[in-house]
Structures are given as structure tokens and as C-alpha cells.
């Protein structure tokens, strides 16, 4: 084999390896929540610190994005708008169905913040941009698909 043939073979191997890496990278499933055919790319608040901070450090949230707060058991978890810079819809979910929806405004200060709770226990909470739940006509009882 000549040097030219070896280099061509090496180039082919590199291109094939790069193609495989690209396919594997692009097929990685990103966390998503779907309600009535409306998909939200979500970040997952897994740790207690992430759940306490939530979206509080953000200036905005991209359209059809959100943050999902999964809990190990169903409960009446309280949510508020501490340190928030923009309004949110808070959607409580239990066993893949919406149980409560709230729209919360950006607080003027962090004193006397309104805390909301689900009307029945929930095991997931989804935060999305305020008004989307109304615009998309989400309602209690709607089916929710959560793909992590």
C-alpha cells in the first residue's frame, strides 16, 4: 500500500468515526414535556438547591421552554416567585395529568410573596412563560407526557 492509499484510508476512517459521533450526539433525547401537542424543552430541577433556585437567576425563558420539578412522591408542594424577573405559569401535574394551573406575576419585592399549592397532590411541577397555559387552552385533567 502506498502512502497516498494509507492517507485516504485513514481519512475515510476519521470521517466514518465523526459521522457515528454526530449521529449519537444528535440522537440524545433532550428532556421534553408535551401537553395537547405543545412541546416544551425543559431543564430538570433535580437537587434541592436547583429546586429552591428554579428560574430565579434568569432574565427570560425561551418560548416553549420550561423547568420541570419532579418529586419522588405526590404532595402539596408550594411555589412562589422569589427573585423572579418575569411572570410564569405554574402547572401542577400528578400521574401525567394536570391538577392545577396558576399564573404568577413578577414580584415587586420579595416581601409577602404569594405561595401557591396544588388543589390535589402533585408529583411534578412545570414552569413555563406566563400566559401560555391560557393561550394553549390547557386545563385541569389534560394529559401530560414527560420524556426525560
Mean of pLDDT values over 26-47? 89
- Alpha-carbon span 42 to 65, nearest angstrom: 6
* pLDDT for residue 7: 63
pLDDT tops 90 at residue 106: no
Q: Which three cell numbers stand for residue 32?
A: 421534553
Strand order across the 144-147 sheet:
97-104, 88-94, 122-129, 65-75, 38-44, 32-35, 144-147
The answer to whether the beta carbons of residues 119 and 141 sit under 8 Å apart is no
Which residue did the predictor score with more confidence, 17 or 106? 106
Mean of pLDDT values over 36-41? 96
Mean of pLDDT values over 27-42? 90
Q: Which three cell numbers stand for residue 148?
A: 426525560
pLDDT digits (tens, 9 = 90+) for 16-34: 655 666 655 544 678 999 9
CA distances from residue 148 to 30, 32, 42, 75, 81 in whole angstroms, order as listed? 7, 6, 9, 21, 25
* pLDDT for residue 26: 47
Q: Tell me the whole-structure pTM to 2 decimals.
A: 0.80
Amino acid at each position: 500500500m502506498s502512502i497516498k492509499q494509507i492517507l485516504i484510508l485513514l481519512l475515510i476512517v476519521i470521517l466514518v468515526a465523526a459521522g457515528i459521533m454526530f449521529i449519537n450526539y444528535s440522537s440524545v433525547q433532550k428532556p421534553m414535556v408535551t401537553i395537547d401537542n405543545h412541546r416544551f424543552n425543559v431543564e430538570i430541577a433535580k437537587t434541592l438547591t436547583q429546586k429552591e433556585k428554579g428560574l430565579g437567576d434568569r432574565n427570560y425563558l425561551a418560548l416553549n421552554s420550561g423547568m420541570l420539578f419532579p418529586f419522588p412522591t405526590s404532595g402539596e408542594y408550594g411555589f412562589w416567585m422569589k427573585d423572579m424577573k418575569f411572570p410564569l405559569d405554574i402547572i401542577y401535574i400528578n400521574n401525567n395529568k394536570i391538577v392545577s394551573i396558576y399564573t404568577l406575576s413578577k414580584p415587586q419585592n420579595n416581601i409577602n410573596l404569594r405561595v401557591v399549592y396544588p388543589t390535589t397532590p402533585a408529583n411534578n411541577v412545570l414552569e413555563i412563560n406566563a400566559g401560555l397555559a391560557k393561550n394553549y387552552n390547557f386545563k385541569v385533567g389534560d394529559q401530560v407526557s414527560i420524556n426525560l
